[in-house]
Structure 1
Amino acid sequence: MSYLETHIHSKSRGCEDASITSSSRSDVCGRSGIDIATYSRIEQGHSSPLLDTLIRIADANGVPPADPVR
């Protein structure tokens, strides 16, 4: 599990070892307007998201935009 994936989902669920399912990825992608392939590349560290993309991911997960970049 990537740092981004663990950090965002643990903050949104209030736990440190959150389990991420493909349906939750789909939910985040649907709420943020990011396609699943792009989100997956970001999670795996193969792509660096723009600031607006990080903000949309944070908003979709219900966490402050600063959390994913700490």
Structure 2
Amino acid sequence: MAEESEVDFLGALPLDMSIRKNTDEGRPCVVAEPDGRIAQIYREIARHVAAKLSLQAKDYTTKFPSIKVMNN
């Protein structure tokens, strides 16, 4: 799907019952099992997202006021 949509593939999670169970209980996998395989996958995906975001150009144009010069 990522290739068809021409977007970067950042990672995939397995179909694992513990993800559903922990989510239903309000406990993210990284909290319920911080050293588990699924938590490692989440962290790897987060690193990929952070790396991609760090490569984006920063637009600071909204940080500066607009200046208008009016001649009367």
TM-score scaled by length of structure 2:
0.28
Which of the pair has more CA radius of gyration? 2
**Structure with greater helix share of residues:** 1
Higher relative contact order (CA 8 A, sep 6+): 1
